[in-house]
Copies of this chain bind each other. A is one copy, B any other.
Amino acid sequence: MRRTLSALCKNEPGVLAQMAQECGKYDANILSLAAGETENPEVSRIVLRIDGDDAAIDKVERYLDSLDEIIQIDDLSRKDFVDRELVMVKVAMDREQTGQLMQIFEVFRANVVGMGQKTITVELSGDQERVDGLIQMLIPYGIKSMCRSGMIVLKRGDE
């Protein structure tokens, strides 16, 4: 089962390594991980997408919750949250296909961020379906290079 954990952590060395190790120990596969700053310079937020046995992920979550460096951990598969992911894709382009590609970018509201002689690079931020949708549309043209940020999340509402 795929689940998403969001952890607020103190900026101390070793937290990321412990997290990754613990997932390995229980055979939970890390699909994506995004670690970035928060509104507090001493605190980071790490969003982890994991695939694995439900009981195993529960164990990972309990272990992380027990660490002093972890301030709060939320299991987002059980809560209401807004998710977003950022992707950059470099796709092959020849003259005949430019129009088709531009139409795809318009439909998905993807922004062109670079252009070469034989490729065009776009960025898109959206939920998982939208990001996956764009990628599926571009595969037939030939994806030359791609970078995804991993999912980031915030709770809905005022909380």
Interface residues of A (CB under 8 A from B): 6, 11, 13-14, 16-17, 20-21, 23-24, 27, 29-39, 45, 47, 82, 84-88, 90, 113-114, 116-119, 121, 123, 125, 139, 143-150, 152-158
Contacts and interface: CB of A to CB of B under 8 A. Distances in A.
- Most B CB within 10 A of own CB, among A13, A31, A36: A36
Contacts of A121: 82, 154, 156
B37 A35 contact: no
A14 to B, nearest CB: 5
A30 B152 CA distance: 18
Contacts of A84: 86, 88, 113, 123
Given A20-B16, A33-B16, A125-B125, A154 B158 contact: no
Q: How many copies of the polypeptide does the oligomer hold?
A: 2
Contact of A36 (B38, B45, B148): B148
A37 B113 CA distance: 20
- Most B CB within 10 A of own CB, among A86, A139, A146: A86
Given A13-B24, A13-B27, A32-B36, 13 more contacts: A14-B24, A17-B21, A32-B37, A33-B33, A36-B85, A36-B87, A37-B148, A39-B144, A45-B146, A82-B88, A82-B121, A84-B123, A86-B86
A31 B39 contact: no
B35 A33 contact: yes
Given A20-B16, A29-B13, A125-B123, A114 B149 contact: no
